[in-house]
Amino acid sequence: MAKEQAPANESAPPSPPSERYVDMTGAQIFNEMLLQEGVDVLFGFPGGAVIPIFDVLYDSPLRFVLTRHEQGACHMADGYARSTGKVGTVIATSGPGATNLVTGLATANMDSVPLVAFTGQVRSNLIGNDAFQEADVTGITRPITKHSFLVTAVEDLGRTVREAFHIARTGRPGPVVVDIAVDATVNRPTSEPSTEPDLPGYKPRGGGHIRQIKAAAAAINAAERPVLYVGGGVLISEAADALRALAAKGRLPVTTTLLGLGAVDETDPLSLKMLGMHGTAYANYAVQACDCLVAVGARFDDRVTGKLETFAPHAKTIHIDIDPASISKNVVVDIPVVGDAKVILEMMLEHVEPRDRSAWLGQIADWKRKYPLGYAKDGHIKPQEVVELLGKLTDHDAIVATGVGQHQMWAAQFYGWKKPRQIITSGGLGTMGFGCPAAIGAQLGNPGATVLDIDGDGNFAMTMVEVITAVQQNLPVKFIVLDNDYLGMVRQWQDMFYQKRYSAVAHPCPNFAAVAEGFGARGMRIEDRAELADGLHEALRHEGPVVVDVRVEPEENVYPMVATGKSLDEMELGKLA
Ligand SMILES: Cc1ncc(C[n+]2csc(CCOP(=O)(O)OP(=O)(O)O)c2C)c(N)n1
Ligand SMILES: [Mg+2]
């Protein structure tokens, strides 16, 4: 645990450590920069090249969270960042410590999550010599980060750390690596260095162009069947209120991507829930029938569009995004608006007019009645009913991390989302093992909140070692494993497209409850529907971390499903109740 800061002596102020960076070691400057940036939690794992930094952390008011694996640390920083909107921070040593961050960095990069990762590097005069625990970390991480820096001189350290935070949190956010040669942490600067960011070539966009905004509003006003298609960018830019106001004023139905869940309250009649491969039938039908599609902070991912050539075939498309590289990348759009979603939506609100859309909304209500999300509640416990119950028992108000697979889709479909930053999930990279550590990071950033990890057995087995971290940090995360003994999503594809030839998907698991007890957490195992509601209720009431191994129907499939290469309206609907 980090130490408490020594209380200030009011009568006779102690001579403070010099405030001049020239008197500090690089490691002390590093600590000072993190404090100035408002960092309160740093996740990570030590090693030779970062011992000087850890020596300073020993006395720092920063809370350092020692994880069991660097991948866990990176996902924790990610969960912290997604759930709070602040920059997450992680530190690892050179070589293997740094390479263990790679999956976490790529995960954050694909989902535009602001992270700063500090990695130790070998002594600067040894770089390139195949020194012990040397890896070309800036080279390895450049394609999977927003930016990466190598610091070899202590004079550059403070400024570079601040530049990293600036780049991570502004524009389209993303992960930034600062690779620091060990001598830059041990040495003191030769003269007083500036710590002001100096990035003349970096100019993130602000608000959008008024002409484009007016054109977009005019297209919406002229439309008979508009749909708002909302991605994670809306949550990142804190634009949910503006979006809700716009939808209400224009009577505009809203569908969201996986990362956009929570941008609208799903109980609002204007909500179509999620679209895409496992989206609702009514969202997909609406997109295919709409005459104006307004994409906000979304990137036309292939899991959303299905067959590109037939995606939203009748629509005039408007695309609001802060990243100009996202515009017309997959779908050529009619009206691009580049800039911050919140600023643009607030401006658009003035120009979008109230319209009677009862015919269109009536059609949508009809689809909702005909094709609701559903499942048959027979036989074994169904994974969908576990998610539904969790939604009810937590008043749809918990922060929910997930792994990747069937359970992730059921969480998305059945929890009942109502607010931003509620779902913490790996959308772009689809990283198995994300849920457990991300939930821990989210709990650290939201001490009073109920935080769940709705996980799959395969995912949980990958990173459940971090339950030990939750125990040590005394974090009351509820890990709910939808345990179907299968790598279920892969099994589903083999079931539907490979004649049930189940190759390498049977995934017999340990008794997760027993393992959890071994880790010092509470463990529970639920096999019977009769025990389900009480069991979950008890788990939620438990004050510490708890792992609930829920044995669910092994061969349940996720529906609706748009098979690869099919259009959105060519869904397999399955047995919708
Ligand atoms: C690191 C990683 N490896 C492999 C995959 C491919 N994959 C996606 S879902 C999945 C199965 C997940 O199994 P489980 O955790 O049991 O969840 P379920 O689908 O059964 O709910 C696999 C192997 C992935 N997404 N990430
Ligand atoms: Mg499974």
Buried b (16+ CB within 10 A) or exposed e, 383-416: bbbbbbbbbebbebebbbbbbbbbbbbbbbbbbb
At residue 18, the pLDDT reads 65
Average confidence (pLDDT) over 237-255: 98
Q: In testing the pocket of ligand 1, which one of 278, 457, 459, 487 has its CB within 8 Å of the most ligand atoms?
A: 487
> In the structure encoding, which two tokens stand for residue 103, read together?
């999956």
For ligand 1, is residue 327 a contact (CB within 6 Å)?
no
Query: How far is it, in rounded angstroms, from Cα 283 to Cα 274?
Result: 7
- Could you give the angle at the alpha carbon of 429 between the alpha carbons of 336 and 169, nearest 5°? 60
At residue 206, the pLDDT reads 85
pLDDT band, very low/low/confident/very high, at 562 (cuts 50, 70, 90): very high
DSSP string, 395-446: TT-SEEEE-SSHHHHHHHHHS---STT-EE---SS--TT-HHHHHHHHHHH-
Nearest to 295, CA basis, from 222, 233, 368, 202 = 233
Query: Could you tell me the distance, in angstroms and rounded to a whole number, from the CA of residue 487 to the centre of ligand 2?
Result: 4
At residue 534, the pLDDT reads 98
Query: Could you tell me the distance, in angstroms and rounded to a whole number, from the CA of residue 458 to the centre of ligand 1?
Result: 6
Atom of ligand 1 nearest to the CA of 459: 15
Residue owning tokens 């961050």: 101
Over pLDDT 90: what percentage of the chain?
A: 95
Residue 296: φ, ψ to 5°: -125, 115
Query: Could you tell me the distance, in angstroms and rounded to a whole number, from the CA of residue 496 to the centre of ligand 1?
Result: 16
Q: What is the 3-state secondary structure (H, E, C) of 131-145?
A: CCCCCCHHHHHHHHC
Query: How far is it, in rounded angstroms, from Cα 279 to Cα 568?
Result: 9
At residue 235, the pLDDT reads 98
Residue nearest to atom 1 of ligand 1 (CA): 432
> Please, are residues 216 and 337 in contact by the beta-carbon 8 Å criterion?
yes
Using CA of residue 384, residue 385, residue 391, residue 394, what is the dihedral sign? negative
Over pLDDT 70: what percentage of the chain?
A: 96
Average confidence (pLDDT) over 262-283: 98
What single DSSP character describes residue 279?
S
What single DSSP character describes residue 18?
P
For ligand 1, is residue 195 a contact (CB within 6 Å)?
no
Q: In testing the pocket of ligand 1, which one of 105, 432, 457 has its CB within 8 Å of the most ligand atoms?
A: 432
Nearest to 406, CA basis, from 389, 377, 383, 437 = 383
At residue 9, the pLDDT reads 40
Query: How far is it, in rounded angstroms, from Cα 95 to Cα 97?
Result: 6
At residue 547, the pLDDT reads 98
At residue 14, the pLDDT reads 45
Query: How far is it, in rounded angstroms, from Cα 220 to Cα 421?
Result: 27
Q: For residue 573, give the 3-state DSSP assignment.
A: coil
For residue range 171-216, what is the model confidence (pLDDT) as tens digits?
A: 999 999 999 999 999 999 999 999 999 999 999 988 899 999 999 9
Query: How far is it, in rounded angstroms, from Cα 414 to Cα 392?
Result: 10
For ligand 1, is residue 430 a contact (CB within 6 Å)?
yes
For ligand 1, is residue 431 a contact (CB within 6 Å)?
yes
pLDDT over 80 (residue 485): yes
> Please, are residues 292 and 225 in contact by the beta-carbon 8 Å criterion?
yes
Which range among 7-11, 167-171, 319-323, 492-496 shows the weakest confidence by mean pLDDT? 7-11
pLDDT band, very low/low/confident/very high, at 3 (cuts 50, 70, 90): very low
Counting ligands in written order, which one lies closest to the CA of residue 483? 2
What single DSSP character describes residue 37?
T
Query: How far is it, in rounded angstroms, from Cα 229 to Cα 231?
Result: 7
pLDDT band, very low/low/confident/very high, at 19 (cuts 50, 70, 90): confident
- Angle (deg, nearest 10), helices 406-414 and 383-393: 40
Query: How far is it, in rounded angstroms, from Cα 199 to Cα 178?
Result: 15
Average confidence (pLDDT) over 138-145: 98
For ligand 1, is residue 489 a contact (CB within 6 Å)?
yes
At residue 73, the pLDDT reads 99
Nearest to 180, CA basis, from 5, 33, 17 = 33
- Angle (deg, nearest 10), helices 26-36 and 154-169: 20
Query: Could you tell me the distance, in angstroms and rounded to a whole number, from the CA of residue 514 to the centre of ligand 1?
Result: 23
pLDDT over 90 (residue 13): no
Summary count for the chain: helices (H), strands (E) = 23, 18
Nearest to 555, CA basis, from 476, 456, 485, 460 = 485
DSSP string, 97-119: HHHTTHHHHHHHHHTT--EEEEE
Average confidence (pLDDT) over 497-521: 96
Give the global pTM. 0.96
pLDDT over 50 (residue 15): no
